Amino acid sequence: MAELEITTITPVPTATIPPSISPYWGWFTSVFWVILLIIILVIVYYMIKEIRLWRNTPKLAEIDLEKEKLNLMKAEMAQRGTPFFRVSPEQMAEIRTLDEENAALATDIFAKHSAVDKRIERLENKVTITKLDRMVDKIKDEEKKLR
């Protein structure tokens, strides 16, 4: 029999293949999802903003229209200035005195009405007290009869 010879295979040095991708590719892949999320959030923000504007624009236009109407009414009232009829100073003085007399009469009426209300309330209270006194007297009489 022939003897087997054991030989060891020595590895042949192979040339290392340089990476064909950029060293920045690893950084970009780690940040890619963050950038994508930020872009999506920006798009969603602008969509929400447009929806809000779409809903609020008619309301704002209506408010502006009402403001313009009010401004027109103010301008019209300012233009009127003098009335269509003239009132003499004597008549204006008479009107003022009548207004003052009406105010004084109104306060007198209020004062008298308040006084009448208070007197009625006082009378009602006195009637109630006398009724209660009579009831107490009747109860005492009944108690005396029962003894």
Position 82 scores a pLDDT of 58
Position 125 scores a pLDDT of 95
Report the candidate in 51, 50, 53, 71 with the shortest Cα–Cα distance to residue 61.
Answer: 53
Position 91 scores a pLDDT of 86
Torsion angle defined by CA atoms of residues 37, 43, 47 and 48, in that order, rounded to the nearest 10 degrees:
40
Q: What is the mean pLDDT of each run of 10 residues along the chain (147 residues)?
A: 65 61 73 91 96 89 92 82 70 90 93 94 96 94 89
Report the candidate in 115, 118, 111, 137 with the shortest Cα–Cα distance to residue 126.
Answer: 118
- Rounded to two decimals, the pTM is 0.35
- Give the residue extent of every domain in the chain: 29-80, 89-147
**CA–CA dist 48, 42 (Å, integer):** 10
State the residue for tokens 């447009």.
50
H-assigned helices in 1-147:
24-80, 89-146
Neighbours of 47 (CB within 10 A): 10
Exposed / middle / buried, residue 115 (Cβ in 10 Å: 0-12, 13-18, 19+) = exposed
Structure token digits, residue 54 = 């779409």
Position 20 scores a pLDDT of 64
Exposed / middle / buried, residue 65 (Cβ in 10 Å: 0-12, 13-18, 19+) = exposed
